[in-house]
Amino acid sequence: MIPYPDISPEIIRIGPLAIRWYGVMYLVGFALSYLLVKYQIKKRRQKTEVKKQAADKRLLSLDIASLYSYLIIGLLLGARLGFVVFYGLSYYIQYPLEIFAIWHGGMSFHGGLIGSVIAGILFCRKMKINAWQVSDLVIVTAPLGVGLGRIGNFINGELYGRVTDVPWAMIFPDGGPLPRHPSQIYQFFLEGMILFAILWILKDRGFRPGIISSLFAILYGVFRFFVEFFREPDPQLGFIVGFLTMGQILSVAMILVGLGIIYYLRAADQQSRS
């Protein structure tokens, strides 16, 4: 067994205000995503200049700051509302004002993804730019934010794993006296670092716009479905159907959406050629 590290969730507190590691992880994730999208656009400009090929001028002149203002708002709203709907609807119907009490915790990745997608579509329609192209640029960077968020969960001692006797098990402060899987670390590696590496390698393979986004949905869904077998089910929900948790059900939905996107894009290509 490995001792759980004694790291305070708060970096600094000044009176009633506190800077927490979890919030900093969000900020760092957005900053890295912003810089990597900027880097990708710069590389596309250089490649276009060298090959003297025509390019989508709207994409190469993308207002990244405005895009991220949309995405951040969409993610935060979606993550909170997703948690309310997916993980505590009956409670929040009874106590609706608690929906706004974000300091009590409660954010959903799947809800945040939905919120970001809606916000991104609205931005792309406003700017008259191909949404699939923008999505592919941003989505390859998303695993970094996901991974950092899991580190924040680990520091908070939340979303821990199921009871186990593996040598690297830990006793979490709020997880009872028995050792558990550090499932947040599993998610950091699978949903964060490994998924980022796969998408970053594939992004320059010349796939049709939208394919990288669909691969993100499929691979994240697969990784999350797998890790949920080691993660303690949400106490307010438990197992939803048989051995399946809410996270696994939402992950299956992501996989199906990803496969649906590939089918739709291929059908659209065939129709345009006919």
Reference 83, options 59, 52, 55, 114; nearest CA is 114
pLDDT digits (tens, 9 = 90+) for 85-121: 888 888 888 888 888 776 666 788 889 999 999 999 9
Q: State mean pLDDT over 156-182.
A: 95
Residue 50 has pLDDT above 60, yes or no: no
pLDDT digits (tens, 9 = 90+) for 54-76: 557 778 888 899 999 999 999 98
Residue 52 has pLDDT above 60, yes or no: no
Q: Burial-class residue 172 by CB neighbours within 10 Å (0-12, 13-18, 19+).
A: buried
Contact assessment for residue 181 and residue 162, using Cβ atoms and an 8 Å cutoff = yes
Residue 272 has pLDDT above 70, yes or no: yes
